[in-house]
Amino acid sequence: MKPDASPTARALLALELIQGSPGITADRLADKLGVSERAARRYVGILRETSIPIESVRGPHGGYRLGRGLRLPPLMFSATEAIGLVMAVLDGHHDAGDPTDPVGSALGKIVRALPDPTAAQAEAVRRTTAPAPDRAAARPDPATTTALVQACSDRRRVRIGYRTEAGSEWLVEVDPWAVVVRHGRWYLLCWSHATNARRAYRIDRVREVTMLDDTFSPPADLDPVAMLEEHLAVGWEYDVEIVIDAPVDTVARCVSPVMGLLEPLDSETTRLVGSTSNPVWYAEQLAAIPAPYRIVRCPELQETARLLGQRLLAAAGETDAG
């Protein structure tokens, strides 16, 4: 237990220790909590003040144990609630106050199992906190995510129904390698048998999952995060090549992997090769690089960068000298 833990947190840990070790003595409890024996007795007193019946038994086989009056309800989570809680921890969740939402329902069960004073504090936080929503996040259905994670674990091929951003729908058989969370979006990194190529599908756009009998072996050197970043940097509409007047180590600290691959031309110059379907976004990312650079390839990006430069000059009260 950390030395700055609150008395309530220590009291709850004391309750857990007493539940797990009926008859635990004050000196053993103090040792487990990392406090003095006097402090351990004080935390037992805090628990008794919240109507938790803790009995003290004297003698060589005595110690603290829970009395008959305590009825802690078992926390029985549904699969959807359990997966929803895990997903909430991984990427944040903004429906925790909604009792009809899987995460809100599961949190409600946890709160009801806490001692009244602690539950009141937790419920107040849940009721009054208003987190700003992440508008870029796209949370998938927990049941769909569970099926895909299970397929990855079992190394079973699946057939997925997918809907693109434009609204097109189709079925495809894939070998699911990994589920990756990136900036609030969930991706299935897989091998597509329709295109015979690596693909990354947004899980929030997966409409159905069917487990198939075929099995597979993922790449031996699979690094899901690095492979997803690399995949998101290629295959877009416009091919891009940038030469940056800075060492590759310096550039790597301010260029996202999804912009493309970096390679040193010499000790002071770096080349960035990638692709994009959004020249405006790409030009804005380039403008944040703290070094001179030249757009060698991609007329669309060159034009976008020129217009962006004019806007920045106008904002600063300057004029474009051409």
| Domain assignment present for 247 | yes
Same domain for 123 and 157, yes or no, is: no
Strand segments, DSSP code E, in 113-221 are 156-163, 169-182, 185-192, 197-202, 206-215
Pairing mode, strands 206-215 and 261-266: unpaired
| Domain assignment present for 252 | yes
Distance CA 294, CA 244 (A): 7
Distance CA 95, CA 88 (A): 9
Q: How crowded is residue 244: how many other Cβ atoms within 10 Å of its Cβ? A: 23
| Domain assignment present for 311 | yes
The pLDDT of residue 5: 55
Residue with tokens 């790449």: 219
- pLDDT band per the 50, 70, 90 thresholds, residue 142: confident
Mean pLDDT of all residues in 96-119: 69
Largest pairwise CA distance in the chain? 93
Higher pLDDT, 97 or 237: 237
Mean pLDDT of all residues in 7-19: 79
Same domain for 103 and 146, yes or no, is: no
Same domain for 195 and 149, yes or no, is: yes
- What's the structural domain count of the chain? 4
| Domain assignment present for 16 | yes
The pLDDT of residue 3: 46
The pLDDT of residue 12: 77
Same domain for 249 and 307, yes or no, is: yes
Span 253-270, pLDDT tens digits: 999 888 988 999 999 999
The pLDDT of residue 2: 44
| Domain assignment present for 233 | no
Task: Give the residue from 222, 256, 285 where a domain finishes.
Answer: 222
Same domain for 90 and 52, yes or no, is: no
pTM greater than 0.75 = no
The pLDDT of residue 4: 47
Task: Give the residue from 66, 89, 114 where a domain finishes.
Answer: 66
What the block records as the tokens of 251 is 């550039």
Span 300-322, pLDDT tens digits: 999 999 999 999 999 988 765 44
Question: The CATH number of the domain where 188 resides is what?
Answer: 2.30.30.520
Tell me which residue range forms the domain holding 261: 238-315
| Domain assignment present for 230 | no
Mean pLDDT of all residues in 112-130: 67
Q: With 0-12 CB in 10 A as exposed, 13-18 as middle and 19+ as buried, what is 117?
A: middle
* Phi, psi angles (nearest 5°) of residue 211: -75, 135
The pLDDT of residue 104: 72
Pairing mode, strands 197-202 and 185-192: antiparallel
Q: Is the pLDDT of residue 98 over 70?
A: no
DSSP 78-120: -HHHHHHHHHHHHH--S-TT-TTSHHHHHHHHHHHHS-HHHHH
Same domain for 155 and 121, yes or no, is: no
Q: How crowded is residue 85: how many other Cβ atoms within 10 Å of its Cβ? A: 20
Q: How crowded is residue 273: how many other Cβ atoms within 10 Å of its Cβ? A: 17
Same domain for 178 and 208, yes or no, is: yes
Same domain for 156 and 214, yes or no, is: yes
Question: The CATH number of the domain where 38 resides is what?
Answer: 1.10.10.10
- Cα–Cα distances in angstroms (integers) from residue 141 to residues 33, 170, 186, 206, 260, in the given order: 40, 19, 10, 9, 30
Report percent pLDDT > 90 for the chain: 39
Residues 158 and 211: beta-carbon distance below 8 Å = yes
